[in-house]
Structure formats: C-alpha cells, structure tokens
Amino acid sequence: MIRIATTLLVATLFVLSSNTLQAQTRRGDVVGSIGYSALFYSGELKSDKSGDALFATLAYNTSDRFWIEGRIGFGTYFFQTDANLVRKYTEYYGPTGTLGGLYPGSPTKIGSQNSSSYTALDVSFGFVILKNASVTPFLTGGLGLVHFSPRNESDNTPLPNYDKGAYPASVASIPLGVGLLVPLSDDVSLSARYDHRFVFSGYLDDIQVGGANDGLSSISIGLAYRFNERPKSDEGRCWCELGKSRYDADNCAICEVQNCEICRQRQPRRAAEIADNREPAAEPAPKPIQPEPAPVVKEPEPEPTPKPNRKLITQGIRFNVNSDVIDFTDPTTKARMAEMVQFFNESCDELEALIEGHASVDGPAKRNQELSVLRARAVAKWLVDNGVAPEKIMGAIGYGSSMPRVPDPPAAAARRMTKLQLEAIREQNRRIELSILRDCE
C-alpha cells in the first residue's frame, strides 16, 4: 500500500507541475470528496505495515478561506509483536508468554501480526493558507470519535483486554491535518492530505503502558467535487465598497458597463444635476388675433451627447506570476503606484474613478478574466490603504483580454516573431486603467 500511496503522490506532483487552473475556494461552496487513505499506527508496539481506509467528506465554505466539514472513514490498521516485546511487557503477555502461546486467562494466541478495524467520525474546520494560487494549501483541525477492535490477525480472535471490555472501544480524538487542493476542472479537484489523530486512549493496540496515549496517522488522496454553481466570474457585477459587498447588475446608466448599489444611489442625484443644467425650453409665440396663422412649433433642443469617460493608463504595474500580489520589488511598479496615489490626492474631492484590470491573450481566457478582476481589486485596496479617499474609488473591474490596446498578431505572424517581440506586444495589453466616472470641473 505504501507503493500505491507513493504512486498517487507522484501523480499529484505531476499535476501540480502542469496545472494552469486556479484552485480557489469561495464562500458558499458545497464540496464533497471521496478517496483512499494509508493508515499508520503509533504506540508501544511495532508498526511496519500500513493499513487501508476509505473516507468521504462533505464541506461548506463559510468564507473564501474557512470551511467546516464532516468526515467519515472506515478501514484497518496493523501493529506487530516480537519476542523482545513479549519479554518486555510481561504484565500483558505473562511471565512465561511466548509467540504462538496464549495470553494469560485468554484463548487468544500471541501472534506476531495484529490488526484492528477502524471507524472515525469527525467534525473539522479548514483554513486556506494561500489565496489565489494554482493550488490551495490548507490546514484542518477538529474533534472526532474513533471506534476500534484489536484482534489477532492470524485467527481473527479479539485481543484479551478488548475481549474483557477493559476499556471503551469508542473514544474521542483530535485530528489535525495539512493538505493541498489541485484543480482538475472548474468543479473537480484532486485532494492530497496528511492527518495525525491524537486519540484519547492508549489501547489502540490493546495495551497501555504508563498512561501514554496512542495515535494514528494517515496519508490520503482523493477527488473533491463542488456541487453548487458559482456566479459567472464577476461578469455583470460591480465590486462596491472596496470589496465588502457584491451586487448583481441590471442596468446602470452611470457606470454603463457596471452596476452596483453606489451607482443606483447616485443615479437620481446625477439625473437631477443634468436636469438642473439644461437650458429651459423657449415658450411658444402668442397666437395673433388677425389673421390666424398656423402655430409655430419650436423643435426641442437635443440633449447634449455625454462625453466618454476619460481613461488614464498606468503601464508597467507588475504582479507576481499567476497572482494578484503587487510586485513592489520592481522599481517601475513602485513608481506607478506612487503616481496614482499622487493623482488621487491632488485631485478634487468630487473625483470618482473605476479601477480597470486588463490582460493579454497569453494563458487561459477564464483565468485571465479572474486574474484581471483580482488585480484590479488589489490595486484599489492598496490605494485606499495608502491614503486615497475611499469615496473616490467607485469599484474595480476586470476585462481579461477582451479589450486589448494592441491587437495580438495572427498565429502565423506570431510564430515568426521572437519571444521578446511577442512579449513587447502583449505587455502593452497587461495594464491597469483608471476610468474617470466624474471628473473635476
């Protein structure tokens, strides 16, 4: 079984090396998983053979980084006895006990190979260590109940203390774990996990020495499936109040392509401002008594065409690869971010802007879309954290690779370019833009 676990671990590492999807948990996710575990006993006796177990888990994400899960496992673990242990623990094996002989006061033979069935029920909490990465590393911890029944492996007879009922066979435990989620598709992930279970009993092997408790460890691998459907990656949504809330989009004339609660609140105010600034319509000429000409109807003046939003392009802001972490080790990035803070702080109080993220066509389109949203939000949050008035930033949006500044060359032309030439084009499309929704007068 160790060979099987090793093979599965190698397969996991291979998937890790070739994976381009984003393994990111989201609030409201309902995830079920099943898989295989290799079980390892730790206690007074020897253990040179792993056991086998199957597990099933159901988890619910209370936030993007925390979840609660219920887990059940069934299996077998093994432990061994040798002549030295028989001579060492004479109180258990008897002063004249030998391998092949009988336990004192029991019909069970002293065998070298012993095993126990294993059933565990756990309620645990999970925590994501690193967000927005190609894999999701996590920690788990909780409380569990373990049932065990130690037996002689050769003739399947219960060991003496278990047979006499000398201890409870169902006890509490604390399982602690660490693992990785590796996405295989939008809904399916590979789960690799190590757990150690602190068991509140020293009788997993039917013998307790000095009041010490035994333990169980497991290496697990399985498949996790997300049952719920997520909203399409922030399409038609507006990030409001600096990421605290998200609002569904219906129609917003002010933000045009976006909609949020802020837009809806400001729309009546803007409409009133526009109405106040319109020229009053001229009254029609008085009707003459003699002769009675046809009334002159003056055509209403057309409403002024709204000006397109002013765009400020901040080229050169870099992020860590496949991440929304701003790379402040790059001098250009540091300078551009400082320039944005200066722009906002030197502008009038009425300024309102939307942070827009754009990506090149390099990589999966869906990942580019998600990453452009995350990066725009990261920039907006950093600006506020560094002194920009929150009311000046109306939100953050990502367009992925849908709005390039420079068209990507056709495939045939791209093949004739060097890597540096192609990167020079695509780098222009990776950018953060400020869309000025309300400019200073």
CATH number of the domain to which 260 belongs: 3.30.1330.60
Same domain, residue pair 201 and 251: no
Same domain, residue pair 194 and 245: no
The pLDDT tens digits along the chain (441 residues) read 444 444 444 444 444 444 445 556 788 999 999 999 999 999 999 988 899 999 999 999 999 899 999 999 999 999 999 999 999 999 999 999 999 999 999 999 999 999 999 999 999 999 999 876 778 899 999 999 999 999 999 889 999 999 999 999 999 999 999 999 998 887 899 999 999 999 999 999 999 988 889 999 999 999 999 998 865 544 444 444 333 333 333 333 334 334 444 444 444 444 444 444 445 545 555 555 555 665 655 566 665 555 556 777 777 888 888 888 999 999 999 999 999 999 999 889 888 999 999 988 888 888 889 999 999 999 999 999 999 999 999 889 999 988 888 888 888 888 888 888 888 888 888 889 888 888 887
Same domain, residue pair 387 and 341: yes
Compute the distance between CA of residue 373 and CA of residue 367 in angstroms, rounded to an integer: 10
What's the farthest any 2 CA atoms get from each other in the chain? Answer: 140
Residue 283 lies in a domain: no
Please identify, among 167, 199, 226, the residue that sits at the C-terminal boundary of a domain: 226
**Is the preceding peptide bond at 306 cis, omega within 30 degrees of 0?**
no
Nearest to 371 by CA among 333, 397, 408, 395: 397
Same domain, residue pair 161 and 255: no
Cα–chain-centroid distance for residue 167? 42
pLDDT computed for residue 37 by the predictor: 96
CA separation (Å) from 96 to 17, 79, 80, 102, 287? 57, 22, 19, 10, 131
Same domain, residue pair 215 and 363: no
Same domain, residue pair 323 and 410: yes
Residue 252 lies in a domain: yes
Same domain, residue pair 222 and 245: no
CA separation (Å) from 148 to 75, 141, 439? 10, 21, 71
Same domain, residue pair 253 and 180: no
Please identify, among 207, 226, 245, the residue that sits at the C-terminal boundary of a domain: 226
In one-letter notation, the amino acid at residue 97 is G
The tokens of 418 are what? 């060097």
Same domain, residue pair 119 and 183: yes
Residue 406 lies in a domain: yes
In one-letter notation, the amino acid at residue 227 is F
In one-letter notation, the amino acid at residue 1 is M
Residue 271 lies in a domain: no
- 107, 117 Cβ separation under 8 angstroms: no
Compute the distance between CA of residue 99 and CA of residue 93 in angstroms, rounded to an integer: 9
CATH for 58: 2.40.160.20
SS3 for 256-275, per residue?
A: CCCCCHHHHHHHHHHHHHHH
Same domain, residue pair 201 and 142: yes
SS3 for 196-218, per residue?
A: EEEECCCCCCCCCCCCCCCEEEE
Compute the distance between CA of residue 371 and CA of residue 362 in angstroms, rounded to an integer: 12
Give φ, ψ of 367 to 5 degrees: -65, -40
Residue 287 lies in a domain: no
CA separation (Å) from 10 to 3, 98, 192? 11, 42, 11
* Burial of residue 166, with CB atoms counted within 10 A of its CB: 0-12 exposed, 13-18 middle, 19 or more buried: exposed
CA atoms within 13 A on the CB side of 2: 4
DSSP 161-187: HHHHT-S-SEEEEEEEEEEEEEESSSS
pLDDT computed for residue 79 by the predictor: 95
- 69, 33 Cβ separation under 8 angstroms: no
Nearest to 314 by CA among 387, 262, 391, 382: 382
- 115, 206 Cβ separation under 8 angstroms: no
Residue 130 lies in a domain: yes
Same domain, residue pair 254 and 171: no
How many domains, the chain? 2
Residue 303 lies in a domain: no
DSSP 43-63: SSSB--S-EEEEEEEEEEESS
N residues, the chain: 441
In one-letter notation, the amino acid at residue 273 is E
**Alpha helices (H) in 318-403, listed in sequence order:** 331-346, 365-385
Task: Answer positive or negative: Cα dihedral of 433, 434, 437, 441.
Answer: negative
Residue 295 lies in a domain: no
Please identify, among 172, 206, 226, the residue that sits at the C-terminal boundary of a domain: 226
* Full domain range(s) for residue 244: 237-266+308-438
Name the 3-class secondary structure at 352: strand
Same domain, residue pair 56 and 181: yes
